[in-house]
A and B are shown apart, each in its own frame.
Chain A
Amino acid sequence: MPNRSAFYQLLLALLCFVSSHVCAQDTRISGSYNSSLEAFLNEVTSTHPVDFYYLDEWIENIQVNGDFRNETLERVINKSLRGSGISLIIYDPTTYVLVNKSMPVQIKGASGRDRSAVVKIGSTSLNPQKKAQLLAGNILDGRDGSPLFGATIYSEEASKGTATDENGFFSIILPAGKQQLKISSVGYQDEWVNVDFQSAGKFQIELYEDLTQLETVVITAKAPDENVKDVTIGKEELNIETIKKIPRFLGEIDVIKSLTTLPGVSTVGEGAAGFNVRGGGVGNNLVHQDGVMVFGSSHLFGFFSGFNPDLVEDVTLYKGAMPPAVGGRTSSVLNVQLKDDASEGLSVKGGVGLISSRLAVESPIGKSDHSIIIGGRLSYVDWILRKSQDQDIKKSSAGFGDTNAKLNLQLGEHDKLTLSGYYSADRFSLASDTTYRWNTTTASAKWDHVFSEQLFGSLMLSTGNFGNQVEDHIGDDQFDYVSDINYSTLNMDVSWILPRNHKVDFGISSLFYTFKPGQLIPGAENVNLQGQTIQDEYANESAMYVGDTWEINDRLSLAYGLRYVNFLNYGPRDVYMYDEGVPKSAQTINDTIRFDSFETIKNYGGLEPRASLRYSAWENGSLKISYNRTQQFVHLVSNTVAVTPIDLWQPSNYYIPPERAHQYSFGVFQNFSNDAIETSAEVFYKESTDMVDFKGGAQLQLNPNIEADLVQGDGQAYGLELLLKKKTGKLTGWISYTYSRSLIKVQGEFPEEQVNNGEYYPTSFDKPHDMTVVFNYQFTKRIGISANFNYSTGRPITVPTSKYRVSPINFVLDYSTRNQYRIPDYHRLDLSLTIGQELKKSQRFKSEFVLGLYNVYGRKNTYSIYFDQQGQAFSLSVLGTVFPSLSYNFYFK
């Protein structure tokens, strides 16, 4: 089974392939020799800045004879080694490794062995100074013993890895001592080997195909104890296998909703678009698909995810410490990583559900290393609308679809070019009358280049569009409305592995925005609608960053970095000037300033320091602490509880400064039972300034002076997140609990620009208690059951508290201060049963049925609260009953 980012494996493989070619010619030998190889190597070591790794007994009978004139060291040694059974590997320009290909195997076999056992390699007597030593060996297919090409071996403790050559052979210099090695290969189960590495040695290990999983991708980009050893705090990862096991609404696998089962991640309501992270709004999350920003990440107002699960490899959410390479949002960065290549050969997978069907094809191109991946989904939801008794809704239709395409071109050993495209569309038509459409389009070209084993990087150019259209071409009120965001990004990222366990990442990025907030075009017959075009806004967000991840020692690691961002709002644009001393409004505009093309309207920027520290104070446990500063220059402006596709994205400009946040996190991480059980407790505190909110009654669409309807305030969020996770065995799953608060204070200069009298009040997504329990139990290889239980405090709401009269309206409701009350608490249990066919490893066609029950005990959870004219409250439960589902998934290889 594939087990982690294929990209990462590819990178390691590339490093291995190039290893014997890098800079070896720098060391040259001149002179006459007739000595033992050992003596020769000792002499070279004393005269050149190179090190050799070998066992004495391997070379005790090997001689160096001959006259050499400016000969490369590599050639001299290889000449001596002819016929000896020893070969030379140039690990890096200063590291030469002699390998005995016939040396005995230390361990063998993987399947069924005791994984907690520690394998001793070498002897301390051979390495009394405990220097770094060579580990070499073979990785084989356990089925037939054939060598595995491109398999990787990685030491978390040393932060080093390498990949096998076409003979399944690998070699790597590792520090002496206990460590855990991860052995992976695409299409095979991961293996973990605990070794006590005392001196140079070799082992052979066999990997086996995963026979129990329908999906061939198991992403475990992390070691079993990475939660403890990784310096990053507040990082959540879900692989697609885990996501698929979580019971889901109508059987539709939802990448986004699965995140809400994790601590610190919530949503304002079932079916609501987006997610909330540590007290931030939906718009405070940056969503990337393969590194390309997407604004619309859901379908049908949020009921379904915008990502095709057959193409997703893994999902990483940074909710605490963010790497300096990413920024632009104050709450989190979510990267949905799609599959990178078709390394498994041709495969077809898909599924049929109640709402949509999907299909994905992965294939190499001919016999080359190139590959192509294409996938798509199409919905058929009209049958639900036709169940309605309302004639208008009966005549309505809705649908969504999305498609991805990815072309990987392997341009030699050092270069790879990836071309990607994504298109997602939603359509909703009411009574064949008004039609709403919204869509997302992205395209990218990414060039990965390996400069050397220590230096590699990528250059990516991407472009995207998020737009929505409304059209009504029937009756007297005909109109068309369009709005768009266009953006193009250039990213360059470089990673540099330096001595003393430093890994330095640096890069630059530049993002150009064109916001088209809205254009209204009245129909010819419309007698009371004026055409209107809100001015475009142009902006550039450029950043440079540098960060270092430093494994100081086994116990201590530090990641620190700095990101500088500059945001430019530029013309052409007319900017309104307002009267001083009164609230901004259309009535207080007193002048207009014209900014020409590319003329700077407003410039914002600043440094974003990032730092995390890990200290492993005891075995299998660690303490972590981090600080983050982030800035956000584009704001999702919404006055509704749940965001909608037509909500406005507003850039910072003359009147709207960027939102800035400082986040402090502290966590305790502890694993048990040989890392089979993870536990963690994290606390965080976040302060934000200039969070965008809105005045009561704000008009956000087609508002030429929207700054008059917006207010900005200071935010405060804090919380405790607990996680207990069992990762192996028949029973797996996790329990997460979060206590958190999210508050905002809007203290405008004038009473009209204040909310709740300038006091702190809870945001719409403030849900103090949030608990999720996810269990998976695998009865047999074919049958498994999953359960998901969620409990959370009801979200805040503003409710009517009294009534009055404004003739001729007899009852007008007067409301509480904003978000003073809460809707009832939420809880729900879901179950699913997966029945797969007998999954023999040689079987080319595999399939499974998934039976689901959503909301098993039919809890009428409040989706919304409505008030009648008298102010009586009614709870609306949209999914207030049991929803059974059946879906069918297949895989063909």
Chain B
Amino acid sequence: MRRLLTICSLILLLLGCKERIRFEIEEGESKYFIDGYLSDEMKSHEFAVYRTIPLELEQYQPETDAAAILVIDETDEVQLTGGPDGIYCTPVMAAEEGKSYRLRIVVDGAVIESKSQRLPETNPSFEMGLGYRTATKDFIQPSGAVRIEKGVMFTTEVEKLDEPVYYQWILREHFVLDAELNESGPNKYCWITNYPIRKTFIHEDIPLDGVTTYTRDLEYLGFSRKFQVDFALEVKRLVMDFEAYNFFELIRVQATNSGGLFDAAAFSIPGNYNIDIDDQDVLGYFGVYRAQTDYVFVSQYELPYSLEQNKACFGPFARLDGPREYCYSCYDAPLGYYSLRGTKPDWWR
């Protein structure tokens, strides 16, 4: 039903005109927020203790003098280390079946404590079954003409269990660029990770008679120079309980609906942290998730599309029919990318 409202808003948006306005936001005390989760991956888990920032700012304000403690089964306490940048890390560990976890933060004399969480009862042990297929997408040009873009649709396999399973998928791009013109020798490649995540989304899978497995689309990616040498989509799958899923669902809904006549009234999304100071809220959600990571690789040679072979280099996002771009060296790549020149990741095929 939400779609109808979205459509209405979209139509009105297209029929109407948009201009930026500014609200005079009353100055108030910023709120604490805690960002991070615990998973069954064996690693050091990070929790950021920050304060909210005004809309026009970009950098969060870290709480560097906090004490962070992970309470396990209400008895054991694990002190988290770090803090100068507001990031507090657990020792290398993994959440274990049956144990409860709670995060306690002491900051400026206030005690912030999460609700006790466990790994979700549902445990989809099956592999993700990542794959892809060729796909197209229509774009309308300003002239009204329709441009059909070729691309790739990445997919995953989902097996149904006897009870609902709540997923979050986090997708990140990795690709290889030929940067020979800026290097002394031939065939010098950059392995590039696109650090801002490509996409994150949640999904509720429900039991359904007669259906055991199905393929679900993850993300469409238009064909570009990213595929020239090799491309990898990193897929992290988190399995969470209903409360955590609902928290992310509220964020999702609120991110797409806010302020319109046909939108639900926006609100401050409650997490599962409490603070021992009246009339103060703490934002964020302490979750304990099951995590799994896998990769799907694809290059132009595996696709039915022809890519013009050109010795000149191209920027990573240059369209096939677009002009040549500046040739980046691995070190000069634009912000947001991290070069792994000459260092092929362990997981790369």
To the question of whether A and B form a pair in one complex, the answer is: yes
**Docked complex: B251-285 residues within 8 A CB-CB of A:** 251, 253-255, 258-270, 279, 283-285
Range, interface on chain B: 35 or more
Closest residue of B by beta carbon distance from A798: B266
Instruction: Give the Cβ gap from B104 to chain A, nearest Cβ, in Å.
Output: 19
* Cβ-defined contact, B23 with A873, below 8 A: yes
- Expressed in whole angstroms, the Cα–Cα distance for A529 and B25 within the complex equals 42
Instruction: Contact check, A698 vs B264: say whether CB atoms are below 8 A apart.
Output: yes
Q: Determine the chain A residues whose CB is within 8 A of the CB of B60 once the complex forms.
A: 804-805
- In contact, B267 and A696 (Cβ under 8 angstroms): yes
- Whether A46 is near chain B, meaning CB under 8 Å from some CB there, is no
Contact with A764, one of B48, B146, B265, B267 (Cβ below 8 angstroms):
B265
CB closest residue in chain B, given A646: B1
Interface 1/0 per residue, B16-45 and A, CB below 8 Å:
111111110110101101011100000000
CA distance A396 to B14 in the complex (A): 13
The listed residue (A644, A821, A873) touching B4 by CB distance below 8 A is A644
Return B276 CB to nearest CB of chain A, in Å: 15
Contact flags (1/0) for A857-893 with B, using CB distance below 8 Å?
A: 0001011111101111111111111000000000000
CA distance A269 to B16 in the complex (A): 14
- Contact between B1 and A803 (Cβ–Cβ < 8 Å)? no
User: Does B197 belong to the interface (CB within 8 Å)?
Assistant: yes
> B138 in the interface, Cβ–Cβ < 8 Å?
yes
B50 within 8 A of A: yes
Whole-angstrom distance between the alpha carbons of A801 and B14 in the complex?
27
The answer to whether A813 has its CB under 8 Å from any CB of chain B is yes
Instruction: Please give, as numbers and ranges, the residues of chain B lying within 8 Å of A862 by CB-CB distance.
Output: 21
Tell me whether A864 and B9 are in contact (CB under 8 A): yes
Contact of B265 among A436, A528, A639 (CB under 8 A): A639
Partner of B52, one of A430, A698, A802, A880: A802
Stretch at the interface among A252-260, A384-392, A555-563, A618-626: A384-392
Partner of B18, one of A436, A818, A875: A875
Query: Given the known A-B contacts A301-B8, A388-B15, A872-B55, are A805 and B206 also in contact in the complex, defined by CB atoms under 8 Å?
Result: no
What separation, in Å, do the CA atoms of A680 and B65 have in the docked complex?
A: 66
B53 touches A802 (CB 8 A): yes
Most buried by A among B10, B52, B258, B270: B258
| CB of A814 closer than 8 Å to a CB of B | yes
CB of A650 to closest CB in B, whole Å: 15
**Are B7 and A430 within 8 A (Cβ)?**
yes
Residue contact A800 to B266, C-beta cutoff 8 Å = yes
Tell me the minimal C-beta distance from B88 to chain A in angstroms.
Answer: 14
In the complex, the answer to whether B266 meets A874 with C-beta atoms within 8 Å is no
A701 in the interface, Cβ–Cβ < 8 Å? yes
Q: Which of B5, B50, B140, B260 has the most CB of A within 10 A?
A: B260
Is B163 interfacial (CB-CB < 8 Å)? no
CB of A878, distance to nearest CB on chain B (Å): 4
Partner of B259, one of A384, A814, A824, A867: A867
Query: Closest B-chain residue to A801, C-beta based?
Result: B25
Q: What does the 1/0 interface line of B121-132 toward A look like (CB < 8 Å)?
A: 000000000000
If A388-B14, A813-B258, A877-B16 touch, does A808 touch B269 (CB 8 Å cutoff)? no
- Within the complex, the shortest CB–CB distance from A762 to chain B, in Å, comes to 12
Chain B, residue nearest A268 (CB) = B261
- Does B335 lie at the interface of the complex (its beta carbon under 8 Å from any beta carbon of A)? no
Q: Are A798 and B21 CB-contacts (below 8 A) given A530-B208, A644-B4, A701-B1? A: no
User: Which of B7, B30, B36 has the most CB atoms of chain A within a 10 A radius of its CB?
Assistant: B7
Q: Is B229 an interface residue (CB 8 A)?
A: no
With a cutoff of 8 Å between Cβ atoms, the chain B residues found around residue A702 in the complex are 1
CB within 8 Å for A530 and B10 given contacts A801-B25, A803-B52: no
Can you list, as one digit per residue, whether each of A713-751 has a CB less than 8 Å from chain B (1) or not (0)?
000000000000000000000000000000000000000
Instruction: Give the residues in chain A near B214, CB-CB below 8 Å.
Output: 527-528
Contact of A866 among B33, B248, B258, B264 (CB under 8 A): B258
- Using Cβ atoms and an 8 Å threshold, which residues of chain A touch B4? 428, 434, 436, 470, 644, 646
In the complex formed, the residue of B with least CB distance to A870 is B55
Contact at A865–B33, with CB atoms within 8 Å? Answer: no
- On whether the beta carbons of B1 and A470 are closer than 8 Å, the reply is yes
Q: Is the CB of B140 within 8 A of A815?
A: no
CB closest residue in chain B, given A385: B11
CB distance from A31 to the nearest CB of B (A): 82
Chain B CB within 8 A of A425 CB? no
Given contacts A527-B208, A697-B269, A866-B260, A808 and B13 within 8 Å (CB-CB):
no
- Chain A residues with CB under 8 Å of B12's CB are 863-864, 876, 878
Task: Let me know if A814 and B31 touch, CB within 8 A.
Answer: yes
Contacts of A268 in B (CB 8 A): 261
CB distance from B279 to the nearest CB of A (A): 8
A556-612: which have CB < 8 Å to B?
Answer: 587
Are B31 and A813 interface neighbours, CB within 8 A?
Answer: no
Bound-state CA distance A222–B344 (Å) is: 89
A18 in the interface (beta carbon within 8 A)? no
Let me know if B53 and A864 touch, CB within 8 A.
Answer: no
B58 to chain A, nearest CB (A): 9
Given contacts A384-B15, A644-B5, A815-B268, contact A527 B140 (CB under 8 A): no
Q: Which of A457-509 contact B (CB under 8 A)?
A: 470, 481
A640 CB–B CB distance under 8 Å: yes
**Which A residues lie within 8 Å of B21 (CB)?**
824, 862, 865, 873-875
How far is A301 from B270 in the complex, measured between Cα atoms in Å? 32
Does residue B200 face the partner (Cβ distance < 8 Å to A)?
yes
Q: Is B205 an interface residue (CB 8 A)?
A: yes
Task: Across the interface, name the chain A residue whose C-beta is closest to B247.
Answer: A806
* The 5 residue pairs across chains A and B that have the minimum distance between CB atoms: A696-B267, A871-B55, A878-B16, A865-B259, A802-B52
Could you jot down 6 A-B contacts, CB within 8 Å?
A644-B5, A798-B267, A804-B50, A805-B33, A863-B12, A877-B19
Chain A residues with CB under 8 Å of chain B are 268-269, 272, 301, 384-385, 387-391, 393-394, 396, 428, 430, 434, 436, 470, 481, 527-530, 587, 639-642, 644, 646, 694, 696-698, 701-702, 752, 757, 764, 797-810, 812-819, 821, 824, 860, 862-867, 869-881
Q: Which B residues fall within an 8 A CB radius of A? A: 1, 3-5, 7-23, 25-26, 28, 30-31, 33, 35-37, 48, 50, 52-55, 60, 138, 140, 142, 144, 146, 170, 196-197, 200, 205-206, 208, 211, 214, 242, 246, 248, 250-251, 253-255, 258-270, 279, 283-285
Given contacts A644-B5, A864-B263, A873-B21, 15 further A-B contacts (CB under 8 A): A384-B15, A391-B138, A644-B8, A646-B1, A697-B246, A798-B259, A798-B265, A800-B55, A800-B258, A802-B55, A812-B251, A814-B268, A866-B260, A876-B18, A880-B17
